[in-house]
Structure 1
Amino acid sequence: MKKTVFILGPIVALAAVNAAHAQSSVTLYGLLDVGINYTNDAQTGRGTNGALNGRSLVNMTDGATRGYGSRWGLRGSEELGDGLSAIFTLENGFNPTNGALGQGGAMFGRQAYIGLKSDTYGTVMFGRQYDSQADFVSSYSPFIVAGLSGTTPGDVDGLGHTRRMNNAIKYVSHGYRGLSFGGTYSLGGKAGDFTGSQAWALGANYEAGNFSVGAGYFNARDPNLSSFGVNPNSGGATVSNMGSVGSLTTAQSNPIYAGYASARTLEIYSAGASYKVGKATLAASFSHTAFDNLGDLTAGPNPFGYHGTAVFNTATATVSYAATPAFLIGGGYTYTHGGGAVGNGSATYNQGIVSLQYFFSKRTEVYLYGVYQTASGTDSLGQPTVANIDLMTPSSTNHQFVGRVGIVQRF
């Protein structure tokens, strides 16, 4: 009898383990993206005469410039019955060229959330996440052919997924006859001020055959804190998390909108559409970004004394062509015009993109792209506008070219 119990005990235990595995799962995933860039002009600082200095630059960087961004993550789910599952995602961003953490040193800076998924009602998630506006519209922008380097200058409309929402509640629907939609709300967490530093976003998408269209809206109070200042190394209202004026020995950052940190509200409206024609996909998008009510020192500094509203309007066109199942060709054009802040002029940015991708397998690809940008007018730092391809060091002149060759490995 004892022998029978000894034999059946492990069998029953093994059956219980197998049943548990059938109801829940945890997946380890990630990718590494490393490439070498050539930039024709990158700022090195400012001369004693006030003029910006720049030099050509060759460097190796993480693939955030391609749009992937090196990462590893854990994704899990547990079946709870009646079509309901508990889910979670923890996603870390890092730089494979030196091993440093991304997103300002956050352990899981790309995403960190828990939620419930219903086969009938959709999914609700809680934690650090991307906003719904970017989720539903970014696929219609040049982001899809050259990653962040192909987005709006400075990713001013957020379609490059460069910013996250902390303390966020997010809902994503199932598809209903081609229609899907969602929304995200980030609690500001300010005592006595429910709307202070809050952010929210809405998005929707509709697909019918070869045609697809999407639209979104984003709103952030105190954007210097609630949208640009959400990483561990971010500062408070006395510093700009949106960029810097540089120094004699350091380059500027985000001169496109760095001077607008005192905005009380950031609003973004965006829409896009795409159509597949044979092996080609044509796409177009439009976005309207407004830094409202400049001069609020509780949100951020205002060293240039701006007030009113700074507005950026962007139009893009993109084409992707699958020459073979393994070889993709892409191109895009972006036009951005900004202005409107009282005390500041206007600026215009034109940007062209060409990219090539070759897939050795589903996991491994190599790519090559080139981005060229020209700028004119006066930027947010009150200087003659300098070119600034996203995530790259700004140019010291009104034009900039970046070429990159890289390799991606997924797991």
Structure 2
Amino acid sequence: MKTPMQTRFTVLSCVALGVMSFAPRGHAQSSVTLYGVVDAGLAYNNNAAGSKLYSQASGSLQSDRWGLRGTEDLGGGLSALFALEDGFSISNGKIANGGALFGKRAYVGLSSHEAGTVTLGRQYDSVLDFVSRFSVSDDWATGYGSHPGDLDNLNNNSSENNAIKFLSADYRGFSFGGTYAFGNQAGQFGRNAEWSAGAGYSHGPFAVGAAYVNARDPNYSFYGNLPSSSTTSSNMTSLINAGYASAKTLQIVVAGASYQLGRLTLGGTYSNTQYQDVGSEAGIAAPGGQGTARFNNVEVNAKYQFTPAFRMGITYDWTKGSGINDATYEQAGWGVDYVLSLRTDLYAVGLYQHASGTDSTGQAARANIYAMTPSSTANQVAVLIGMRHKF
């Protein structure tokens, strides 16, 4: 009798082999690509609930994944396309994204050279499409370098289920798009629904982008749309926002820009995140109080390309809470990346965070670098070294 893992492996093998063997026969100009990322390293946390922690890290610079993507030329500038992308942990082999088989992305759609692309399925919102590139967590600082709690989703930790998405073609450097994710709740059209919109412009050394996200019942839609998610209790675990799981609406406004001066690139982001009507979700506690919690975040960063193979970056990030809480989080980071080949690189990152004020739980704010065990004090230091390989 097969174990669940053996059964899952068999299904994945059939999917991969079936798609790759069938697609080229369907059309002479069809293509299917198997791709992935494996990323592993060592991490140090100077204060994990009061103790030092040395651990193996997985998917730090870029989360571990494998996927299939393909296109078919339909003629007249129109193409069909699809993508299936699964996350996993190289440290223990477990499926990531709450056990979802293709928890990162899974969509199918049509693309026009002149108009743009329409896709349906599980997808990223407009923050990834237009702003994430300007934040260091999506570049050299690893996921641990995310803004506190990844409040603005610039590290792309949340995808949208049941989403229809449009991305325009590139019009001389300008592009725009948006998403709408259905809540799929009978008799409650807006329940658990999400939508986003954004735009970007790039010309020469200058690039800029902005996006807006609105999620109803975010504890279940934005933070709780995975197989392992709870349908009755909190799905928010970071001290930065765990106290706001009972919010009715999550609203994110974010913008970013960068400018390249030779080997030096300067960049930054601004975001405003609001958890509105905290206390409105029945059965979920609001320990920090009721009302609206707001966070303003500013990140400034710089990176320098010393050689084609070696670069270094620095960043400072400031997060200020208001409304229900008055927590302030200051975070600084430094990192280096050395490219061994087109597919393999080595990296090292150091991060420091300081917290002050009162956090979402109504307690004295403690440092909590993203995805790490919270500190027992207001300060926390993390150091990572690792290797990434793409295939």
Give the structure-1-normalised TM-score: 0.87
Corresponding residue for residue 56 of structure 1: 52
Corresponding residue for residue 32 of structure 1: 38
Q: CA deviation at 1:304?
A: 1.8
Structure 1 distance, partners of 2:55, 2:344, is 22
What is the 5 A alignment of 1:220-235?
220-235=215-230
One-letter code aligned to 1:181: F
One-letter code aligned to 1:59: S
Please say if 1:262 is aligned against 2:246: yes
What is the 5 A alignment of 1:141-156?
141-143=135-137, 144-156=139-151
C-alpha change, 1:20 and 1:106, in structure 2 (3 Å) is closer
Please say if 1:337 is aligned against 2:333: no
Which segment drifts farther, 127-136 or 100-109? 127-136
5+ residue gaps, structure 2, are 1-22
Given that 1:125 and 1:171 are in contact with CA atoms closer than 8 Å, whether structure 2 keeps it comes out as: yes
Structure 1 distance, partners of 2:121, 2:313, is 34
Corresponding residue for residue 80 of structure 1: 74
Structure 2 distance, partners of 1:260, 1:384, is 16
What is the 5 A alignment of 1:328-407?
328-341=311-324, 345-407=325-387
State the secondary structure of the residue aligned to 2:131: helix
C-alpha change, 1:194 and 1:320, in structure 2 (3 Å) is same
Q: Which runs of 4+ in 1 moved over 3 A?
A: 17-22
Corresponding residue for residue 107 of structure 2: 113
Post-superposition CA distance 1:22-76 (Å, at most 9, x none): 3211110001000100100112xxxxxxxxxx2000000212x32x101100011
Structure 1 distance, partners of 2:185, 2:290, is 25
C-alpha change, 1:305 and 1:256, in structure 2 (3 Å) is closer
Corresponding residue for residue 234 of structure 2: 240
Post-superposition CA distance 1:80-138 (Å, at most 9, x none): 11111111100010001110000011111111111111111100111111101232111
One-letter code aligned to 2:191: G
State the secondary structure of the residue aligned to 2:28: helix
Post-superposition CA distance 1:317-349 (Å, at most 9, x none): 0101110000011111100001212xxx41000
Give the structure-2-normalised TM-score: 0.92
Corresponding residue for residue 190 of structure 1: 185
State the secondary structure of the residue aligned to 1:104: helix
Q: CA deviation at 1:18?
A: 7.7
Corresponding residue for residue 296 of structure 1: 280
Given that 2:288 and 2:359 are in contact with CA atoms closer than 8 Å, whether structure 1 keeps it comes out as: no
Given that 2:45 and 2:380 are in contact with CA atoms closer than 8 Å, whether structure 1 keeps it comes out as: yes
Aligned residues: 368
One-letter code aligned to 1:353: G
One-letter code aligned to 1:84: L
Q: Percent identity?
A: 49
Please say if 1:174 is aligned against 2:198: no
Given that 2:243 and 2:288 are in contact with CA atoms closer than 8 Å, whether structure 1 keeps it comes out as: no
5+ residue gaps, structure 1, are 1-16, 44-53, 244-253
Corresponding residue for residue 410 of structure 1: 390
Q: CA RMSD in A?
A: 1.4
